[in-house]
A and B are shown apart, each in its own frame.
Chain A
Amino acid sequence: MAEMETAAEFRQNRMAAKYGMWFFLYTELLFFGAMFLLYSVYRYRFPLDFHAGAKEENLYTGSINTLVLLTSSMTLAMAVSAIKRGQQKVSERLQMLTMALGVVFLAIKYYEWHWKIAKGLYPNSPVLLKLPKGEILYFGLYYALTGLHALHLIVGIVVVGFMLRYTRKGVINRENTARLENAGLYWHFVDIVWIYLFPLFYLVTK
């Protein structure tokens, strides 16, 4: 009887952890949703300026980055699947690969930002302030949205790093996968945010 209660409690805790993560993601959805709304309203008001601003975007690096993030989502989903099968080493390698892909994404994003900053296109720069109002808004939103996304990805890499440590220690195992599953939910959400950011900045104004 005592064992049954423990199993029920374990299941309840697991559900509570998952619900907590989903509720956190809802707040994130509304946070990014408001930012997307801001972008779309200003784009509606300044279509030509946004079109001119988007010409600075590099479709090649944006596409590569999207593929990198999609691949990282697959590897983390596989890491969760592996731990559920009891394949600890496989899960560890897949978690490491996920973190590496996250770093690749950030490196490409750094290159993009560096290229724009070298051209003087950064918030409050003399070059940017000479441009039309719509273009100033475009680059402000570009840095705000991609910056916040990158910040979320950095948090994701750190979280997966902790999950890797827990997996190595055996805290995350075949019976106890909730932490890794929740880290996966967060990572996939960050991937979904990028899925919408990609057309907003790299495709819509082509």
Chain B
Amino acid sequence: MKLEVPEGATGYGILFFIWIALAALLAATIAIALMNVRMAVALNFLIATSMALLNLFYFMDLRHEDRFLKTIIFLALFALTSIIILTYSDVFYRMAG
């Protein structure tokens, strides 16, 4: 009997594949840190963001959500980025002074 995957249910195979991808990215980020690669910090955070996106789009199923929710997420990230930029501009200004 062929098992049909209902609408909205992500296949087990896809979820397992995403887990493999996450484990591979984890191994890559550890290797980068241990090998003292140039720009290791930036690479580590780039990999962390890739892992977070895989988690968001597949495990949290954001790819199936409507535009409203995706916009709200963008706004939340925009707010956080703005706070980070403003804080750092203040820190740099004080340290320069």
B76 closest partner in A (C-beta): A26
Bound Cα distance A192, B26 (Å) = 13
Interface size class, chain A: 35 or more
B30 touches A203 (CB 8 A): yes
Bound Cα distance A77, B12 (Å) = 9
Interface status of A19 (Cβ within 8 A of chain B): yes
Q: Which residues of A contact B76 (CB under 8 A)?
A: 26, 29-30
A192 touches B55 (CB 8 A): yes
Q: Contact check: which of B18, B83, B91 meets A33 at CB < 8 Å?
A: B83
Contacts A70-B23, A203-B29, A206-B33; is A26 near B55 (CB within 8 Å)? no
CB distance from A73 to the nearest CB of B (A): 5
Residue of A26, A37, A84, A203 most packed against chain B (CB within 10 A): A203
Bound Cα distance A112, B56 (Å) = 28
A77 touches B3 (CB 8 A): no
A73 touches B29 (CB 8 A): no
Q: Contact check: which of B3, B48, B60, B83 meets A184 at CB < 8 Å?
A: B60
Interface status of A124 (Cβ within 8 A of chain B): no
A41 closest partner in B (C-beta): B91
CB distance from A45 to the nearest CB of B (A): 8
Bound Cα distance A76, B19 (Å) = 12
- Hey, what's the 0/1 contact readout for A104-131 against B, CB within 8 Å counting as 1? 0000000000000000000000000000
**How many of B's residues come within 8 Å of A, CB to CB?**
49
Interface status of A85 (Cβ within 8 A of chain B): yes
Q: Which residues of B contact A203 (CB under 8 A)?
A: 29-30, 32-33, 40, 44
CB distance from A125 to the nearest CB of B (A): 28
Q: Contact check: which of B55, B73, B79 meets A188 at CB < 8 Å?
A: B55
- Hey, what's the 0/1 contact readout for B8-26 against A, CB within 8 Å counting as 1? 1111100110110011001
- Hey, what's the 0/1 contact readout for A33-70 against B, CB within 8 Å counting as 1? 11001000100110000000000000100010011001
Interface status of A170 (Cβ within 8 A of chain B): no
If A29-B76, A34-B83 are given as contacts, then 16 extra A-B residue pairs at C-beta distance below 8 Å, sorted by A number, are A23-B72, A30-B79, A33-B80, A70-B26, A73-B19, A74-B15, A77-B59, A81-B10, A85-B5, A85-B6, A185-B60, A188-B56, A195-B51, A199-B41, A199-B47, A202-B33
Q: What are 23 A-to-B residue pairs whose CB atoms are below 8 Å?
A: A22-B72, A26-B73, A29-B77, A30-B79, A33-B83, A45-B91, A63-B26, A63-B30, A70-B51, A77-B15, A77-B58, A78-B15, A80-B9, A81-B15, A84-B8, A188-B56, A192-B52, A192-B56, A195-B51, A203-B29, A203-B30, A206-B34, A206-B36
Instruction: List chain A positions with a Cβ less than 8 A from chain B.
Output: 18-19, 22-23, 26, 29-30, 33-34, 37, 41, 44-45, 59, 63, 66-67, 70-71, 73-74, 76-78, 80-81, 84-85, 174, 181, 184-185, 188-189, 191-192, 195-196, 198-199, 202-204, 206
